Amino acid sequence: MSSTALSYAIDDQDHLIKLDEGYYRFAEENGWGEAGDSLGRSLWDFVAGDEMRKIQRMLVRRIRDEVGHVELPFRCDSPAARREMEIRIAAHPSGRVVLFSARLRSENPREAIQPMLDPDAPRGDEALQMCGWCDRFEIDGEWMEIEEAAARLELFLRDELPRISHGICPRCNQMLLAA
Ligand SMILES: [Zn+2]
C-alpha cells in the first residue's frame, strides 16, 4: 500500500524548504531518483515539460498574489497503479512561502500497461505526448487514458515504446488557468 499524504513547501525563491516524511516515502515508492537531495533545490527542477512549468508558475503566482489557496484534483500514476490525488496549494499568510499538500483519493492496481510507464523500457524515436497533470496521452489530437492509448498504438506488439514528452492537455490547461 502506498503512502496517503505528503507535503512540501517553497520559499519566496521557489526553493524547496520543507519536505515531510510522506514526500520521501512517496518519492521512494515512485522511483524519483533525485528526491533524496530535493531540499534547497528549485521546485521547477522537478516539473517535467516547459508548458507545465509555465502554467504551474502562473498558478503559484496567482496563489501568492490573489487567491491565497486552491484545491485541485490531479493524477500521479505509477507503473502499477492508477492514482487519483488531490492537492491543496496555499500561501502562508505572513509571506511568500507556499505550502503544497497532496493526498491520495483512490488507487487502482493495473497490470497490462505497466511497461508503458516503466522508465527502463526501451524507447524509439517516436514521441508520445503526455499531460503532466492528468497523465492522459495525446494521439492524433485526442487525449485519452493510457489503456486506450496503448490499445490504439498496439504497444504490446512492439519491441520498442515511444518516448514520452511532457505537455499539458487543453482540459488541464483550462482548469489551472481558472483556479
Ligand atoms: Zn491533462
Distance (Å, whole) CA 155 – CA 152 = 8
| Per-residue pLDDT tens over the stretch 25-46 | 888 877 777 777 889 999 999 8
C-alpha–C-alpha distance, residues 149 and 62, integer Å: 34
C-alpha 135 to ligand 1 mean position (Å) = 6
Are the C-beta atoms of 32 and 22 separated by less than 8 Å? Answer: no
pLDDT digits (tens, 9 = 90+) for 46-56: 888 899 999 99
pTM of the model: 0.77
C-alpha distances out from residue 54 to 29, 58, 80, Å: 27, 6, 29
**Residue 95 alpha carbon to ligand 1 centre in Å:** 31
